[in-house]
Amino acid sequence: MPKTKSAELRIKVIDACLSDRKRKYSTAKIFERCNEELLKRDFVPITAMNSIRDDMDQIQRIYPGADIESYREGRNIYYRYADPDFSIFKTPMKPDEIIQLTQTLRLLRRFKGMPQFDWVDEIAERLGASLKLDESSDEIVGFDENLDLEGLNNFTPLFNAIVDKQPLRLTYQSFRMDCEETIIVHPYYLKQYNKRWFLIAWNDEYNFMANYAFDRIKGIADANVAYKPTDVDFFDYFDEMIGVSKDTRTEPQIVKLWVSPAQWPYIKTKPLHGATQHLVSQDEHGAVITIEVYLNYELEQLLLSFGEKVKVLEPVELRDRIKQRLTEAAKNYLE
């Protein structure tokens, strides 16, 4: 049985015990009642009393007004809601608010299986139980996630290092390297692009902000150096680029492109770079547009994905690079 379903049932039982003013419930008694209900429904019983204490702590954190008080009678300590009329199942929410919350919980499920976000699924289950939300219908929204991505287990230690401002010693091997290298970085931000996750961090050796793909990180350890904070606003950091690669020693450039008549309707409605895409001209032969971005590998990949339907006009260095890559690609079909 799913662990979250077991947690949902425990919360129902604990809520009933804490709401009951006719009986007295110690931690041991609540533990006993939970296991009785779990066994009735073929769930695995809990084995640690701390599970009950953790559940009660969760109830107080998640549900407004869930103030749990303890009181002593003789040698025994009992627990109940401070408000005799309180229950997590008594909600003043309107039907339309419950519908909106149901939809929100379904969207939160996109994090299901993601390291560090197990709490999202658990809270969704518990809120679903307390509000009696109908989550039995089929999912109607799909997200382009890749939960089988190699290196996804690096998410939690990197996430924690950013929160704790802890410099790291990474063992890393890029696709262009024959062997691993050890580098000291100061982690700042996690970014997903094209189904892959990247760490954005400051490289101590090169004094440079760089990105590190999760699937190329071979080892993570704390580095015994002082953390270097940053004043970079990462909500703006990616505005002038496509992807995650940004050489801050350069500046964004205006890229001029010809777009075929067949491709233009798609690029018009889904801009290559929404913040800067500008239509220069358009006729029966196609459209000419400009975008202003950093020149990087991800930009090249995007332009190459359009094949013959997009042509680089400027700058010359990017035009020559795309031409060279297309020439090399064509050789694969001429042999």
The domain spans of the chain are 3-81, 95-131, 152-237, 253-331
Number of C-beta neighbours around residue 129 at 10 A:
20
**Element containing residue 185 per DSSP (H, E):** strand 181-193
Confidence (pLDDT) at 2: 44
CATH architecture of 253-331: 2-Layer Sandwich (3.30)
Given a cut of 70, the residues of the chain with pLDDT beneath it are 1-4, 91-149, 335
CA–CA separation, 224 vs 168, rounded Å?
A: 8
DSSP string, 28-79: HHHHHHHHHHHHHTTPPPP--THHHHHHHHHHHHHSTT--EEEEEETTEEEE
Return the CATH number of 152-237, one of 3.30.2010, 2.30.30, 1.10.3470, 1.10.1060. 2.30.30
Determine the topology of domain 3-81 in CATH: Arc Repressor Mutant, subunit A (1.10.10)
Q: What is the pLDDT of residue 8?
A: 82
Condensed to tens digits (0 to 9), the pLDDT of residues 129-162 reads 555 555 555 555 666 666 666 777 888 889 889 9
- CA dihedral of 5, 7, 13, 18, whole degrees rounded to 10: -150
Rounded CA-CA distance 274/306 in Å is 17
Give the gyration radius of the chain's Cα atoms: 28
Round to whole Å and give the CA distance between 77 and 36: 21
pLDDT at res. 165: 93
